[in-house]
Structure formats: structure tokens, C-alpha cells
Amino acid sequence: MDTIEKEKKYNKWIVALSIIIPLAVAALFGVNLKKLGFDVEPLNFLPPIYATINGLTAIVLAVAVIAIKRKNRKLHERLMKFAIMLSIAFLLMYIAYHMTSDSTKFGDEGYIKYVYYFILITHIVLSIIIIPFVLITYVRAITNNIERHKKIAKITFPLWLYVAVTGVIVYIMISPYYA
């Protein structure tokens, strides 16, 4: 079986996860357990933790790129798997927070409000778009289709880095308004 055939067996999973993850996040984002009658405490301690995870993800991604440029493939592989695990941890904490807490409104006025919403909207849109890119990039690596992996990684890396960094920026900008 050649590398393209190996990749194809993952395509259904990539498509499914690229649709299911954003839909699940959107659906769960709208679920507030307290309003549904559950006796849960808001997980207000999570935002600084998941913002830190976003920052750590950005650092791991940058170090992974440095590792592969230095031909340290094993370190690169470990770091990329770690970046994926960090992103999953972020996602789980993000969902848990929003299922137990009311959304926080940005309280500033003037031009900074537009800057905040621009960063927030691009962050959200790209966090959805990045899912298939990460999955395809990962599959091309594990199927040893290195040339195709390199091509898409050149797109995936800056998008994923942007999502990770803007996640931290969004947190810093909204954190004064947390209840």
C-alpha cells in the first residue's frame, strides 16, 4: 500500500472530526448546567489555566519547528504530539468552563473593543479551520508522506500558532471583566 492509499483510510475520520468537534463545542457552549438545574459550581479557575495551555502550545509549536529544522525528527514528533494533547486539554477545559459559567462580556469601549472583537472572531474562525489542517498534517506524518506533510505543515503551523497566541491575547483582554 503506497502512502496516498494509507492517507485515504484516515479521510473519513478527518472529515468526521472536522465537523463533529466544532458542532459539539457549539452545542455544549450553549449548555449551562446550572440553568438546567444541576448543582454545579462555576469552574472560574479554568480560564487562566487554559490560556496558559494556549501559550504553552505556541511555545511547543515553535520549538517543534526549530527541532525539525535542526533535523531532530524524533523531538519534533514528540513535541507535535504534545501540542495536540495540549489542544485537546484546552478544548475540554474550555467546554467545562462554559458549561458551568455565564459568558463574560468585554467591557471596554472605543477602538479597543473593535480590536478585541477582530482578534476574537479571527481566533474562533481559525480555531475551526485549523482542525482539518492539523489532522491532515498529522496523518501525512504518520503515514510517512513527508513531502506532502511538509507542504501542508507550512500552512498549518502559522494558522495553529495564530490560534494559540490569540487565545492568550483574548484571555488577557477579557480577564478584567470576569465576575
Reference 94, options 166, 40, 28; nearest CA is 28
Give the Cα separation of 76 and 94 in Å (integer).
27
Give me the residue label for grid cell 526549530. 66
Q: Which pTM value belongs to this model?
A: 0.92
Please check the confidence at residue 179 and state whether its pLDDT lies above 70. Answer: no
pLDDT of residue 116: 96
pLDDT tens profile 59-105: 999 999 999 999 999 999 999 999 999 999 999 999 999 999 888 88
* DSSP summary character for residue 97: H
pLDDT tens profile 130-151: 999 999 999 999 999 999 999 9
Q: Which CATH code fits 3-177?
A: 1.20.120.80
CB 48 within 8 A of CB 175: yes
pLDDT of residue 40: 87
Instruction: pLDDT band for 38, please (50, 70, 90 cuts).
Output: confident
pLDDT tens profile 39-62: 888 899 999 999 999 999 999 999
pLDDT of residue 42: 87
Q: Which residue has the higher pLDDT, 110 or 178?
A: 110
Please check the confidence at residue 34 and state whether its pLDDT lies above 90. Answer: no
DSSP 17-37: HHHHHHHHHHHHHT--TTTTT
pLDDT tens profile 151-177: 999 999 999 999 999 999 999 999 988
| Spans of all domains in the chain | 3-177
